[in-house]
Amino acid sequence: MAAAQWEFSCDLEVDFQLEEKALMVHRALAVDKELQPDKVRREIAVSAGKLSVHFEAVEARFLRASYSAFMDVLTLATKTIEEFGQGMVS
């Protein structure tokens, strides 16, 4: 697919302050691949306790749907780690 077709993008950065916490969230979310990789791309990285996500899509509606779904699972993963993972993060 030509680069010009990926004309919609956005970036998200969440500061977890702890590298371990950011890595736990990254590992939990990285297993979920995009359902339509020919229409949406997502790259996730961790650095200095921050989770960074870059989205690209061929249409705004695909970007919005992917971002929204990702935010739902990010919220769930974060709440789960805060509730149950206290002993896992030092």
Q: pLDDT at position 2, please?
A: 47
Report the CATH number that the domain containing residue 69 is assigned in CATH: 3.30.310.50
Residue-averaged pLDDT of the chain: 88
Q: For residue 43, what is the enclosing H or E element?
A: strand 40-47
Residue 89 lies in a domain: no
pTM of the model: 0.82
The domain tally of the chain equals 1
φ, ψ for residue 42, nearest 5 deg: -140, 130
pLDDT digits (tens, 9 = 90+) for 9-32: 999 999 999 999 999 999 989 888
Report pLDDT digits (tens) over 75-87. Answer: 999 998 888 765 5
The alpha carbon of 48 is separated from its chain's Cα centroid by a whole number of angstroms, namely 16
Residue 1 within any structural domain of the chain: no
